[in-house]
Each structure stands twice: as structure tokens, then as C-alpha cells.
Amino acid sequence: MKTNWLWDSRLGEDEIRKILKDADNPRFDIYAEKLFSRTNDPRIAFSNIDKVTFCKNWPNIKKRMRKDRWLKDRVIFWQAIYERIHEGLKGSGIRLRKSREAKIPPERMKLAQQIRSIRMKSGYTQGDVAKKLGTVQQYISKIENGHENLSVDTLARIANVFSKGLVIKLK
């Protein structure tokens, strides 16, 4: 017999449980969204999805649920559950996010440091530069930390902000 939240599913309950145990399954988000949008009982939810998987995938599930404005209250409910569980897991030393340890090429890091240095000497904040470029401050931060691979066009726009010339040397 199908569980209430699976009333419209063509798959059997065992098959859906298997999908919900594998967050890499392409259908995981679909069934996780059904589960959390159709139940407000944490016992039912966490008998199908473990708490760590829930916390890791909640942003995507929430995004899917927000597409239906009727689910606003359910999103608020599960967000509160998420926050409580997340704090508990963090307190237990369980890491939910992968550390961002991308290797930044030395050339990009050198360019990032030069841009930051010029900005600071010019007396601009990241917000000022962002406004002049028509972007957001976070983008300027990514540039200055070497996390953004810039195009020549973007470099030229940045040089214009600082009234500098752009010289590119090829070895």
C-alpha cells in the first residue's frame, strides 16, 4: 500500500526509498520535494531521508518547493527544522559543505593582487568598483581573491574604472 505522500507516484514505495537514499540519483530532488511538500511530520521524512542528506540537499529542495506558492508555510516549517538539525550536526563536528580548496593559478593570483592594490591606492571600495562596472560587490571580491577567471573585456573595463591602460604581454 502506498504512503499518503506517494499518492500520485507510479513507482513503488521501495523503489522511491532507494532513490531517496541516493542523493546522486537524478530523481532524488523530485521525490525529496514531494516528501517535504506533502508531509509535516519529521518522523516520516527522516525515515526516508537521513538528516545529513537532508541538510546537504535542503537548498535545492527548498528552491523546488518555492516554485509553488501554496507551499510557503511548508518551506518555513522545514527551514526551521533544517536550522535546528544543522546546528546539531555542526555541534557534533559533522561538516556539511566541502571546503573550497581550488588551486588558483599563480598568474591569476598575481593579477588579483594587482587589482586589489590599485583599487586600494585609488581609494575605492569594492562596492564603488562594482557600481562603476554595473555588477555586485561579491563579484569584485571573487576577482580580488583569484576565484574569478576574467575575460580580456572585463580586464579592459576594470582598467577603465581606474583610468589605467591595459597591457598584455605574451612570452
pTM of the model: 0.56
Residues of the chain with pLDDT under 50: 1
What pLDDT is attached to residue 1?
A: 44
What pLDDT is attached to residue 100?
A: 60
What pLDDT is attached to residue 98?
A: 66
What pLDDT is attached to residue 8?
A: 79
In angstroms, the CA 82 to CA 52 distance is: 10
CB-neighbour burial class of residue 144 (10 A; exposed 0-12, middle 13-18, buried 19+): buried
- The kind and range of the H/E element at 116 are helix 106-122
